[in-house]
């Protein structure tokens, strides 16, 4: 039986593969496979969000952050170790995994 933890594990691995594929010089064929998996996750009711590059503040409870550097101005997410995963229930979403991110100011 597939548990929520199993699903999160699989989605996190797909996210890792996507990150690695971006760095490879290939004609996006890996991205097509991972997109198919993302579509399947959506069908199963799971949405995956990559907050890389987004602004960060102390009200964002969708991420667990480690703040690097000595500036707290203009905080941005500079590294995403795990993405945000939400589960759809009717018209609304519920976050089932917070992103694990590194944040830096400028």
Partner 1 sequence: MSQTIDFGIDLGTTNSVIAHAHDGKVEILRNPLSLKETLPSVVAYRKSRILVGEKAREFMERDPENVVGGFKRKMGTADRYFIRSLDQQVSPVDLSAQVLKELRSFVHGGIVPEAVVITIPASFDTIQSNATHEAGRAAGFDEVVLLQEPIAASLAFANRQEEYGRALGRGQWLVYDLGGGTFDVALVRIKDGEMRVLDHEGDNFLGGGDFDDLIVTKIIVPKLQATGKFEDLERQLKSAKGRHNGLYFKLLLLAEEAKIRLSSHDKADIEFEAADDEEEDQEFFFSILRSELEALLDPYIDQTISMIERILVRNNMESSELDYVLMVGGSTYIPRVRERVGAGLNIAINCDIDPTTAVGEGAAYYAATKPRRKKGISLEKKYEPLTESAAGLQIRMAYARTSKERTEYFTAKVEGELRGLQYRIVRTDGGFDSGLKDLLPRIEEDLPLMLDTYNVFKFTVIDQYGHIVREDLPEIGITQGKYSVSGQPLPADICIEIDDLETRRTKLEPIFKKNEILPLRRTITKQVMKTIRKGQDEQLVINVLEGSANLLPAVSLPIGFIIISGKDLERDVIKGSDVDVTVEISESRDLKISAVLLMTDQEFTNVFSSNERQVNLARLEAEIQQLLEQANDELMDARLKDDAQLIRRLDGIREELEALLTQIKGMAQDDVTDSRYQLDDRKRKLARELSETTQDQALENSKLQYFDYKRYSKYYIDKYGTVTEQQNFNRLLEQEREVLRVGSAARIDDLSDRLLSLSWDVRWRTLEFLSALFSQNFSQRLSEYPDQNRARSLITEGNSALARGDVFGLQSVIRRLYDMLPPERKGSFQFGTGIG
Count of positions on this chain that bind partner 1 (CB under 8 A):
37
Whichever of 74 and 79 has its CB closer to partner 1, that residue is: 79
Backbone angles phi, psi at 77, to 5 degrees: -85, 115
Helix (H) or strand (E) holding 89: strand 84-89
**Least distance in angstroms from the C-beta of 73 to partner 1:** 11
95 lies in the binding site for partner 1 (CB under 8 A) = yes
Whichever of 7 and 65 has its CB closer to partner 1, that residue is: 65
**Least distance in angstroms from the C-beta of 29 to partner 1:** 5
Sheet holding 92-97, edge to edge: 46-49, 84-89, 92-97
Paired tokens of 34: 């991972």
């Amino acid at each position: 039986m597939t548990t929520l933890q199993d699903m999160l594990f699989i989605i996190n691995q797909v996210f890792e593969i996507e990150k690695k594929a971006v760095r490879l010089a290939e004609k996006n064929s890996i991205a097509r496979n991972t997109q198919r998996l993302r579509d399947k996750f959506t069908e199963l009711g799971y949405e995956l969000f990559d907050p890389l590059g987004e602004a960060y503040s102390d009200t964002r409870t969708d991420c667990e952050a480690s703040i690097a550097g000595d500036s707290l101005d203009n905080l941005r997410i500079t590294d995403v170790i795990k993405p945000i995963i939400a589960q759809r229930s009717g018209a609304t979403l519920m976050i089932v995994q917070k992103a694990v991110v590194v944040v830096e100011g400028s």
